[in-house]
Chain A
Amino acid sequence: DVKVTQSSRYLVKRTGEKVFLECVQDMDHENMFWYRQDPGLGLRLIYFSYDVKMKEKGDIPEGYSVSREKKERFSLILESASTNQTSMYLCATSIAGGQETQYFGPGTRLLVL
């Protein structure tokens, strides 16, 4: 069974702080993804990675960066948090090859004050 974990369920930060969200998977999946989930907007892809040290911009990368130093770990970084980054952040993983489903973590609800 795929296990995808995220470092925090809830996080409260102040405007301007640097924020790190971590995602860890234990199934040796090549692909990892970061989404944000907002009411009425669905899930929007921020960044994804096909392999270690590789990253690709998604649909809304502005204000975010990512790091993938190890296969099992994918970090989302908010360089200078802003109130419009208050959201639910979801990590997902999938096997390489393009035809398999994605497995999601439990999410991190971030509040930026």
Chain B
Amino acid sequence: AQRVTQPEKLLSVFKGAPVELKCNYSYSGSPELFWYVQYSRQRLQLLLRHISRESIKGFTADLNKGETSFHLKKPFAQEEDSAMYYCALLAYEKLTFGTGTRLTIIP
């Protein structure tokens, strides 16, 4: 069975500092990975997916099959990045989510 691990429940970063949210997965097939974000009082929404290889709101994530990781990165944190972030793996049309990381940007 597939599994997604986000080792950090809480992460605090100063504004302007780099951000890295960790995600590791286990899956026997070819993974389809996503990052979802939930801002305060808003619904859960897609941030980015590995297959599109794009940067959204300054965030990027690279799939590393050797390390089975899909870490989310941003070079310079902004206050509006404060949110709950979930890594998710898609298999058989179902998403398996990690436990989430709450990111707080310190002004």
When each residue 67-105 of chain A gets 1 if its CB lies under 8 Å from chain B and 0 otherwise, what string results?
A: 000000000000000000000001010101111011011
Is the CB–CB distance between A98 and B92 below 8 Å? yes
Residues of B within 8 A of A48 (CB): 94
**Cα–Cα distance between A44 and B92 once the two chains are bound (Å):** 16
When each residue 31-55 of chain B gets 1 if its CB lies under 8 Å from chain A and 0 otherwise, what string results?
A: 0101000000001111001010000
Residues of B within 8 A of A64 (CB): none
Is the CB–CB distance between A58 and B45 below 8 Å? no
Is the CB–CB distance between B49 and A101 below 8 Å? yes
Residues of A within 8 A of B86 (CB): 42-43
> Which of B12-20, B63-71, B96-104 is found at the contact surface with chain A?
B96-104
Residues of B within 8 A of A33 (CB): 94-95
Residues of A within 8 A of B45 (CB): 104
Give the interface size bracket for B toward A.
Answer: 20 to 34
Give the interface size bracket for A toward B.
Answer: 20 to 34
Residues of B within 8 A of A90 (CB): 44
Is the CB–CB distance between B100 and A98 below 8 Å? no
- Report the nearest B residue to A98, measured CB to CB: B93
Is the CB–CB distance between A45 and B90 below 8 Å? no
Residues of A within 8 A of B6 (CB): 42
A31 at the interface (CB under 8 A from B): yes
B9 at the interface (CB under 8 A from A): yes
- Report the nearest A residue to B41, measured CB to CB: A106
Is the CB–CB distance between A40 and B99 below 8 Å? yes
